[in-house]
A and B are shown apart, each in its own frame.
Chain A
């Protein structure tokens, strides 16, 4: 079975924020929450500017899952890290632990009132019945259940953001690297999926 991954090509990303908009629209993300964001390094400097789109990377050994006090995270057979909002208590631990700043809360209120955590689902919904109304209102679209890939990557105008089977998108990126004749820079993969020589946690396992 495929292991779903995201890959952002910094040589192609033009910071159009199309992925951010696509995500918000597709999933009807609550106001104040952004499941995806584009970060620009050396903004406005000719020859030095690089942009990267980042969201939940669906890590192999997910820190959010490890620190959650109610164990509300789970990993699907396709390696997508999802969570159950009915269990979430809004403690913020996943937000502390995540390297990518993916978990978001609708509020940051006094007395720790944050509301239920919200994050990128790889357009794979949540624990509710696939494509049900409850699933959509809590987690947004379930495009994987419809045989589609995440809206952000599908919408990317320069195909900088790739989302899908890790082997397939790595192959696409390898072609680009060969064509450019320069080194591979798959940002975030070491953090999210481990170094190539490390054995990744098997998909579908709950750690």
Chain B
């Protein structure tokens, strides 16, 4: 027997010993039926109440919940999934894509105002960058494969047909299941690595007050990470991604004899958190690529120009300059890999 099953069973036995009433209630319901058969022959109402309760009865067929005649969680899950979660997540992501597209058309790629100095500051160490990209690439693979399984039936299937879509969905499922653990491990490393610089500071309130000048173009000083990045870190990376990891692991290992209700709950958490984190991540991906000039190079090569640092993360720049924060320096252009100095 598997260790988890042993543990689960001994836990159930312990629970039954602590709560003797749960052991007797089955017999009590049987007795109710025995009395009913005497007083009102042919009245099986107590039996049907037992069946309807969804609890395990006796069966000689071994397997997960084979003793349950009928369960009602499934229908609730179906209503939630098909009626609420899938359409809301789908439309939310579509709306976010349109809003970002409109914002890009209006604002374009945000550039620094001053001239680049040619003096570079190391913003991310190689280890930080590798961890970020492992998280990022696995996130994108999980996001796309997840969307294929969640929305593909409505969006792709009518276009590419049953055979091709089933092949794509099968590929997505395997990618999702084998890339998932990579994401979980790298995510934990990422959180440990970046939590210190993402702790909220008082000046973050000011950033939120005018959204970092994204709309007004006004200059708002911030630390190594601005308040928007911190919000993404705490909401997207910590809360939603950890929820996704935990619920994902429940779904990933059906070999531990989890009952359907547990897997259904995990699936609801997984779909809601997944839809939300994908929608928010589009904002981060936008600013990290085409939205903000210099941001991609910082994570790609690790270095930013001093002008970029001063205009986007002034407090961090000041700390680096005064020597409070130790950061590597280099000369040249930030869009090429730098040698360490």
Binding site for B on A (CB under 8 A): 10, 17, 20, 32, 34, 37-43, 45-48, 50, 52, 54, 63, 66-72, 84, 86-92, 95-101, 104, 108-114, 180-183, 185, 187-188, 191
Given contacts A67-B81, A89-B173, contact A48 B254 (CB under 8 A): no
The count of residues in chain B whose C-beta lies closer than 8 Å to any C-beta of chain A is 63
User: B126-163: which have CB < 8 Å to A?
Assistant: 149-150, 152-153, 157, 162-163
Contact in complex: B74, A98 (CB < 8 Å): yes
Contacting residues, chain B, for A54 (C-beta < 8 A): 69
Contact status B70-A95, CB under 8 Å: no
State whether the Cβ of B64 lies closer than 8 Å to any Cβ in chain A: yes
| Contact, CB under 8 Å: B33 / A99 | no
Q: 3 tightest CB-CB pairs across the interface, nearest first?
A: A182-B42, A48-B33, A43-B58
Q: Mark B27-63, 1 if CB is under 8 A from A, else 0.
A: 1011101100110011110111011000001111101
Q: Say yes or no: B44 contacts A10, CB within 8 Å.
A: yes
Give the docked Cα–Cα distance between A100 and B72 (Å).
Answer: 9
Q: Would A101 and B71 count as touching, CB distance under 8 A?
A: yes
> Is A72's CB under 8 angstroms from B166's CB?
yes
- Tell me which residues across on chain A come within 8 A of B59, comparing CB atoms: 37-40
| A43-B57, A96-B74, A111-B178 given; 10 more Cβ-contact pairs under 8 Å | A47-B33, A54-B69, A63-B78, A67-B78, A69-B169, A70-B162, A70-B169, A95-B260, A96-B73, A100-B69
Query: CB < 8 Å: which of B48, B72, B162, B163 contacts A185?
Result: B48
Complex contact B42–A96 (CB within 8 A): no
> Is the beta-carbon distance between A87 and B162 smaller than 8 angstroms?
yes
B175-196 residues with Cβ-Cβ distance < 8 A to A are 177-178
| B213-238 contacts to A (CB < 8 Å) | none
Interface string of B113-135 (1 = CB under 8 A from A): 00000000000000000000000
